[in-house]
Structure 1
Amino acid sequence: MSIIIAGLVIQFLLVVYSNLLKRFPSDMLTDITRKLLGNIIGRTVNYVVYFYFILTGSTLTILMVKILNEQLLPLTPGWVLSLLVIASSVYLAVSNLRIISRFFVLASFWIVLLVGITLLAIWGTKELQFILPIGSVGGKDILLGSNNALLSMLGFEALLFLFPYVIGNKKGMLKTVSYANLFVTGFYTFVTFLCLITFSPQQLQQIREPVLFLFKGLTYRMVDRLDFIFLSIWIIPMTTSIIMYLFLASKSLGGGKNSYIKTVLVNGIIVFCISLIPHTDEITDTLTQFVSYLSYAIVIGLPSILLLLTFTYKKQGKGEGV
């Protein structure tokens, strides 16, 4: 239920984004902020947006390295994994958007493979009674769960920067991103449902990574350790997220092509330095919680306020009246 609520919130935000971007079809979020808030306030807000993208990319890197160290490569130093992930991300992020999008299309096929592997987890002992009665935890806990689900589904805010690059009919953009949101929400709901009917509530409290643990008990004649296979494939879509946040952070500062490349390199160094902090549970939870709160301001609050300002001040957007 928490994931479904998070998906509905994201769909509402996509409608807000679509209405805002239709009024500024040739501008990114950072351009819109300067037009509606003024140059000084707009630039200040853009620096906050930049900080959000850097911190989110760093958090994803930390979580990725932490899981790889615990589950797949326990003897490899964390800084080595961070360096490899960030170096490959920077290598793609300095490319133009067309090359990045082609790589993302290739990466989407691996996501399909992840879905296929997840379907194998259907077989085995399942207990529907583990989820009964539905909603027994109370509305407050369901909303808190939606907060965690929303954080794991971040990335849709990239639309605020990618919309001007869309070639062709931009009116169908909302339908396209809505289908993407439906797929992500459905996949997350399915995986969570599998974990809930496989493990008892007491077991879930003791398991660190329920999804990976779900595959450890699956063994086939020609395939073994599906958790390692799942994790190895999972690295690819996780890396695409880091690439995208490096791209968004660099674009949020503006500048030409040469300055963009330099900015990506600097941002990669910053993300790498942040990823070197100790990966203890306390620090990771604190950082994740801070990113969660900041995402409410940047992903939900800022676009909503800007959309309201377009009705209040009747500013003129580039290429189309507001």
Structure 2
Amino acid sequence: MNNKKLLSKSQLMFFILQSQIGVGLLSLPYMVHLHAKNDGWISVIIAGMIVFVFLFIMWALGKRFPDDTIYEYSNKIVGKYLGTVISFFYALNFFIISIFVVTITVSILKKWILTFTPPFVIILCIVGTGVYLARENLKVIGRFFTFVSILILFLVFLELLSYKDANYKYLLPVGQAGFKNIMIGSHDSLTAMLGFESLLVIYPFVKGNAKDILKNSTIAITFVTVLYTFFLITSFVVFSPEEIKIVSEPILYMLKALSYEVVERLDLIFLSIWVVPIITSFVTYLHIASVGMEKIFKQSNHKKVTLVLGILIMIISVFIPQEDQIIDKFNIIVSYSSYIFIAIIPLILLIVSIIRKKKGQSQLYEN
């Protein structure tokens, strides 16, 4: 490893944080409310706990193979051929999620800001920016993610302005949706929190021991859980239960209703800032997908692979219809298939590695 290409412990935290905050945020209150009603904020907290369990499994795998990514230790655990198949499907999954991120982003931007802009122009801007950054090493990406994380505070500030119309009685009675519906809402919340699985790829490039990696990853997940809970509670206390049923992006609608002498459309400011976490999420998936393809096809580096994947994403995204039904089906496929890659496969690999006593060498850089 080249020490200059490694992430610091704090950069790891911001990397996971920026990877998690993505396209699911805007519609999350609406999606969770469909099942969990105004107990959706409980669903988010439960989802955060579940995410930590999945993260712990990935961390345990990384701890056993501290110098390898999942594309490498899968071969050591289950053999070359099956390991290559697993690696390919992981890279393919990250590639598909990259397309999903672009599709959702284009749909929202077309709806709220760039109504008359051709979709391919928006796609070109998103993918072009993403490819430019994803071609770099993790040190550069980590620095950028750390720098733009300050923008999250502006999103929180804009949300706080909505509390002048808050009605906290909308949250009562707590637990009215029932345990089953709250758990279904946790599934919707978990989908919006995807991005932490990048640890499967970036673990060996972090400067620090296993304890530090787990600690900083946990901090990132906790922050995202608290942030999402805040956004849900804000939406639930501003909109009545009947109103939120018909508002697909409540976060934007409540900002649109606010008006000041200097600034009239706060929703447009929010969207302008929100685009940055979307780009970082896209960069994460594009980067870890290209690293996987680089390993599988034995390329010298991931830069050329990133460019090729970027072109493919652009072509595919252009031909995906910008229709709600298509996007909803896409969302369902991504949400349920993700369980295979964030829970089932890592757990199986961990169990097999313990049974077969497979273990890698100690990490090269500890501090």
Per the TM superposition, whether the score is higher than 0.5 is yes
Aligned to 1:159: 199
Q: Which of 28, 44, 47 is the equivalent residue of 1:3?
A: 44
Task: Name the SS for the 2:66 alignment partner.
Answer: coil
Once the two structures are superposed, residues 34-68 of structure 1 have per-residue CA deviations (whole angstroms, 9 ceiling, x without a partner) of 11111111111111111110111111111111000
Structure 2: state its 5+ residue gaps.
Answer: 1-41
1:4 deviates by 0.6
Which amino acid is 2:87 matched to?
N
Alignment of 1:287 onto 2:330: yes
In the alignment, what sits opposite 1:181? 221
Give the Å deviation of 1:254: 3.4
Instruction: Identify the residue that residue 225 of structure 1 maps to in structure 2.
Output: 265
2:311 is the counterpart of 1:272: no
Structure 1 SS opposite 2:293: coil
Partner Cα distance (1:6, 1:270) in 2: 33
Q: C-alpha deviations, 1:99-126, integer Å up to 9, x for none?
A: 11111112111122212222222222x2
The answer for the alignment partner of 2:232 in structure 1 is 192
Is the contact made by 1:27 and 1:318 (CA closer than 8 Å) also made in structure 2?
A: no
Which of 87, 90, 95 matches 2:128? 87
Among 13, 16, 25, which residue is 2:57 paired with? 16
Task: Supply the distance in 2 between the matched residues of 1:299 and 1:237 (Cα, whole angstroms).
Answer: 21
Conservation of the 8 A alpha-carbon contact between 2:102 and 2:282: yes
Counterpart position of 1:312: 355
The one-character-per-residue Cα deviations of 1:186-231 (angstroms, maximum 9, x if unpaired) are 0100110111111112211111210101111222232221100000
Q: Does residue 47 in structure 1 map to residue 88 in structure 2?
A: yes
Matches within 5 A, 1:26-105: 26-105=67-146
Task: Supply the distance in 1 between the matched residues of 2:334 and 2:150 (Cα, whole angstroms).
Answer: 29
**Cα distance in 2, alignment partners of residues 148 and 273 from structure 1:** 29
Q: Distance in 1 between matches of 2:208 and 2:185?
A: 38
Cα separation, 2, equivalents of 1:280 and 1:295:
22
Q: Name the residue aligned to 1:210.
A: 250
Amino acid at match of 1:245: Y
- Preserved CA contact (<8 Å) 2:103 2:317: yes
Cα distance in 2, alignment partners of residues 31 and 187 from structure 1: 34
Q: Distance in 2 between matches of 1:41 and 1:168?
A: 31
**Alpha-carbon distance between aligned partners in 1 of 2:144 and 2:178, rounded to the nearest angstrom:** 42
Q: Paired residue for 1:133, among 146, 166, 173?
A: 173
Equivalent residue letter for 1:47: F
> Is the 2:294–2:300 contact (alpha carbons within 8 Å) kept by the matching residues of 1?
no
Q: Secondary structure at the match of 2:150?
A: helix
Deviates more, 1:127-136 or 1:92-101: 127-136
Aligned equivalent of 1:121: 162
Give 4+ residue runs of structure 1 displaced > 3 Å after superposition: 254-259
Q: Which amino acid aligns with 1:120?
A: L
CA distance in 1, matches of 2:92, 2:182: 29
Q: TM-score, normalised by structure 1?
A: 0.95
The C-alpha deviation readout for 1:106-159, integer Å capped at 9, x for no partner, is: 2111122212222222222x2223222222222222122111111111110111
Distance 2:120 2:43 in 1: 34
> What amino acid does structure 1 have at the position aligned with 2:351?
L
Q: Are 1:250 and 2:290 an aligned pair?
A: yes
Alpha-carbon distance, 1:291 to partner: 0.5
Q: How far apart in 1 are the matches of 2:73 and 2:143? A: 28
Q: TM-score, normalised by structure 2?
A: 0.84
Gaps of 5+ in 1: none
What amino acid is the match of 2:201?
F
1:258 Cα deviation after fit: 4.4
